[in-house]
Amino acid sequence: MANTTGQKFGGRTKGTPNKEISPVREKFNQLLDLYSVEQMKKDLIDIENPAERIKIIIGLAEFVIPKLARTAIEGGDSQVQFQISLDLG
């Protein structure tokens, strides 16, 4: 029988941390504390394939820059043009 009341029954209460994942997060934070930004720069420079380097940077950016939701443009027959530039220098 499905709960249609909108009330929560059982499980963790809102805001309670997940006990199983907490030790994993703590170990990961310790690992990141040892990995300096300088070492990360060196490792990225050492990657010879530029496409792989960009793929890693984009993957890391997801943790810093939120993804934008899709926006629908409705009405009219007007054309929309986008110009994207990337300065790697």
Q: pTM to 2 decimals?
A: 0.45
Region 57-61 average pLDDT: 88
Q: Tens digits of per-residue pLDDT, 3-55?
A: 788 777 777 777 777 777 788 888 888 888 888 888 989 999 999 999 999 99
DSSP state letters, the chain:
----SS---SSPPTTPPPTTTHHHHHHHHHHHHHS-HHHHHHHHHH---HHHHHHHHHHHHTTTSPPPPP----SSS------------
